[in-house]
Structure 1
Amino acid sequence: MLSSAHALGQAGEAAAADFYRQAGYTIRAQGYRHGRAEVDLIAQRGQELLVFVEVKTRSGGQYGTPETFVSARKKELFRLAATHLQEELDWRGDIRFDILALTQLSQGFRIEVFEDAFY
């Protein structure tokens, strides 16, 4: 078990990137920042889809499920960062906003994907 919340978050983001790679996506960015907004992970599938991923990692279910920790303000900042990146890349394909919820187990993580989680 990981001891610090920071280490747990880093391990969760690495597991999330591996999850998307194994699903056939290319990782375009991790920890993408625009102003006050941060997108944990940006994954791309071919030339048709760009996925903006909010990764939520928890050590257990005692405080609720990870996906419930994405606030309305976080979603708004997330959308602003996504809009900026689309302009920067001149992206013409589809986009999707996912929440990837990871719960730490004794061996690895339980992963739940919420595709099209908002917007």
Structure 2
Amino acid sequence: MAMNDNLARNLTAQQVVPKPIQQPESLPGNLHTKKVIKRGITRFEVWAVSFFGILLFGLLVANVTMAMQLSMTNRSTQDLEQQSNDIVVVNENLEQKIQELSRYDRVYEIAKNNGLEMNEEQIRNVFP
């Protein structure tokens, strides 16, 4: 038995337990790598983007519409101012014509040609 004991001791001494291979703790370039899970956009994000997109489109349409209305209003205002200026010019021309036609010497000549005589008692001066 003594021999068997020695043999058993020799076998346990000869058996080498393999050590696990250790990885280096930090590999260059692979520091703190985390697995990134890529997810699609959520329904809420789709609704939010759609809502703000529609809102932006509506505001742009409203802006263009308001600009067109403002332009049309400015144009109609300019047309009214031009008509007003034309009426003022016509009125001034008519007033000048009235002054020319109501000159004393012209009225006196027409009266003389029609056989009318001047009677100082019946003359009345009318001032505008």
Question: TM-score, normalised on structure 1?
Answer: 0.21
Please say which structure displays the higher CA radius of gyration: 2
- Higher RCO (CA < 8 A, seq sep 6+): 1
